[in-house]
Structure 1
Amino acid sequence: MELVQKKFKHVNIQDPFFSSLINDYKEFTTWFAKKAEDKAYVFEDENDKVNGFLYLKTEEGSVDDVVPQLPNKKRLKVGTMKINARGTKLGERFIKKIFDHALHNKVSEIYVTVFPAHEVLIALFTKYGFTQVAEKHTQNGTELVLIKNLNVLQNTLVRSYPLMDMANRNIYLLSLNPQWHTRLLPDSILTNESADIIEDISHANSVHKVYLAAMDGLEKLKPGDILVIYRTTDHQGPAHYRSVATSVGVVEEYRSIRSFASRDEFMSYCQPYSVFSDAELDQFWQRKNYPHVFRFTYNAAFKRRVTRGEMIEQFGIDPAAYWGFMRLTRDQFNLIAQAGQMDESIIIN
């Protein structure tokens, strides 16, 4: 299945997927027709049947059709979001797209209206820090108005996402070889040209990642630690120019592979967010040659990659150090983030 952007006029509203939306919103068919030239994210299966639909819109001003009204502000509105879950992580992939758009459009707030009966959808938004602030009353009934403030840290790492709490955090450079990097972080830009990550449609784009490695020192990882992801050379040229920092994440949890009581427990922990196939995971479990298992949130891809040469010559990073897993200073992190043109609004000191 593939997540693509399509104009409304190229989406089949007769697909059974839209039946519940047509039933919930009396004006849905008319509204859909008016949006003919607008684009939405559409998730289709191998039979071209719709399994997910996400429409986003940037707004400026007050929101006066809810009670109480929302004050004048630039916001991203989640206009329509529906998922046929079927055990997939599509909801979290849509969440990632929502936050990508919010940062790209430099909004301070995201809002969505949801009928109370849609408990699973409400739980998904709540998981990522949305809270109810108002209600919307129409001929269709009463909807809850959920808001996500993009300027304020919340009480958990995931509820705060994509913000990064930098206060008293350790910062590390973590290297990945190109094979794993491509699988794990598909929207990290791998050219020197600035690019718009909003256009990325990779199936592997998600908030959470699980990775296994054997590098010394990884057992030091603690929740909240910051990771600068470093893709090692692809051997297309000197590592000085081809090894690059590409993105940042925040550690959620570290575990030793030996902390899992069984293969089944290990597989169930890794499978949802791992880049590795079941066969690869099974091999890792049998051999225990990658003892470090950690989960992290994928907070931002750099708009521009930062080369090993820059980090050595301009940012003072020791070329003789072990670049597999290396502690960075806050100043070094700031310089890398600036060179990578990362959205600094996600950094909270």
Structure 2
Amino acid sequence: MPSLKLKKFKEINLKDPIFDSLKKQYKEFSEWFKKKSDEPAYVIETSSGALRGFVYLKIETGEITDVSPSLPAAKRLKVGTFKIIAHGTKLGERVIKKIFDHAIDENVSEVYVTVFDTHSQLISLFERYGFKEKGSKTTKNGTEKVLLRSMTDLEDDILSDYPYVHSNGVNKFLLAIYPEYHTNLFPDSILKTESPDIVTDISHTNTIHKVYIAKMALTRLKKGDIVIVYRTTDIIGRARFRSVVTSLCVVEETRARKSFVSEDAFVEYAAPHSVFTEEELRHLYQENDRLYTLRMTYNAAFGKRTIRGVLIDEVGLSEQSRWDLLKLTEDQFAKIIELGKINEGLVVD
């Protein structure tokens, strides 16, 4: 898949076609770009080096006076420039996730972006994840909307509060996934022993939303429940050292096969967010009367992947239990989060 990485402006080709529309919309864009020579920006490149995305992020701490109404002094992350060529791959969601990763890491109170109202799809993307219109910004290029997302005033909503995870009053589970499916579904949780070449540029790779499909009943999972993804071993007999927890997710919904009115409805629902091809999905539907889907948000990759042996010895998970879908106690969940070294502010009451 195209890599998402930081590069200095001077290392980025200003003549790349991705910047053509920005040059037309912002008369000063080329000069602004050159002045940022030594500053970093996120770029998404294909294997040939062509740009599929460009995102410039900037930390601001003072009062924002070039918007109306002005914004009081606070530590904010400004999305200075955002341009994505998604080609139906939902690459925008991947970049939104990176913006939030950056915001969490910098511990900002707000994230904001200005965007012309002609970019309706981009506005909808930001609004889906909690951005709200807070004013306008007028320059010689025209008037833009100011969209702002608070990182402190949460709404107890899975999407509006993303990537925060509400832990109070919900169940926590360990959910197993085979290695051959794991990294394509959770690309930020790739193991150091895996090659990045196995991650392909397709919808389910880029999405914040994931659909997990299984023959076991998933209906005990409810909206808001927390799922810790457990990647099973890739070498038989080595599970104690090769099986690891990798990711933190939140349940959006579960569905049984019978809830889909047709095979086509099942495929339409699952295809953009699951690891299976359309042909594989149709086969699953045709061959299994008992089939369940779990749709969840992909909130964080663990900084440290705790192995099965530690989960047994230190967390207290039973070696005799089946770990395909294992309910966790509050203490077990808290210990896994602690060992996983994710940002301590990401899980909230």
Which residue in the other structure is 1:325 paired with? Answer: 325
What is the letter of the counterpart of residue 167 of structure 2?
M
Moved more, 285-294 or 170-179: 285-294
Which residue in the other structure is 1:335 paired with? Answer: 335
Contact 2:86/2:92, CA 8 A, preserved across alignment: yes
Which residue in the other structure is 1:156 paired with? Answer: 157
Which residue in the other structure is 1:286 paired with? Answer: 286
**How many equivalent residue pairs?**
340
Q: Give the direction of change, closer, same or farther, for the CA distance of 1:313–1:155 in structure 2 (3 Å limit).
A: closer
Contact 2:226/2:248, CA 8 A, preserved across alignment: yes
Which residue in the other structure is 2:196 paired with? Answer: none
- Give the superposition deviation at 1:28: 0.5
Moved more, 308-317 or 248-257: 308-317
Distance in structure 1 (CA, Å) of the matches to 2:237 and 2:59: 42
- Give the superposition deviation at 1:50: 3.7
Distance in structure 2 (CA, Å) of the matches to 1:344 and 1:4: 24
- SS state at 2:210 partner: strand
- SS state at 2:76 partner: strand
Distance in structure 1 (CA, Å) of the matches to 2:224 and 2:214: 19
Which residue in the other structure is 1:84 paired with? Answer: 85
Distance in structure 2 (CA, Å) of the matches to 1:62 and 1:344: 28
Distance in structure 1 (CA, Å) of the matches to 2:186 and 2:128: 22
What is the letter of the counterpart of residue 341 of structure 1?
K
- Give the superposition deviation at 1:243: 1.4
- Give the superposition deviation at 1:139: 1.8
Determine which structure has the larger strand proportion and give its number: 1
Distance in structure 2 (CA, Å) of the matches to 1:26 and 1:337: 48
Aligned pairs (5 A) from 1:12-161: 12-44=13-45, 49-154=50-155, 156-161=157-162
Q: TM-score, normalised by structure 2?
A: 0.89
Please, which runs of 5 or more residues in structure 1 have no aligned partner?
Answer: 193-200
Please, which runs of 5 or more residues in structure 2 have no aligned partner?
Answer: 194-198
Distance in structure 2 (CA, Å) of the matches to 1:225 and 1:88: 27
Which residue in the other structure is 1:206 paired with? Answer: 207
Do residues 311 (structure 1) and 311 (structure 2) align? yes
Distance in structure 1 (CA, Å) of the matches to 2:320 and 2:158: 34
Root-mean-square deviation (CA, aligned residues, Å) is 2.3
- Give the superposition deviation at 1:276: 1.5
Which residue in the other structure is 1:253 paired with? Answer: 253
Contact 1:284/1:290, CA 8 A, preserved across alignment: no
Contact 1:187/1:205, CA 8 A, preserved across alignment: no
Deviations 1:132-187 (A, max 9, x none): 22322222222221111122322531111111122211111101111111221121
- Give the superposition deviation at 1:260: 1.5
Q: TM-score, normalised by structure 1?
A: 0.89
What is the letter of the counterpart of residue 302 of structure 1?
F
What is the letter of the counterpart of residue 59 of structure 2?
T
- SS state at 1:22 partner: helix
Runs (4 or more) in structure 1 with deviation over 4 Å come to 44-49
Distance in structure 2 (CA, Å) of the matches to 1:155 and 1:348: 10
Moved more, 301-310 or 180-189: 180-189
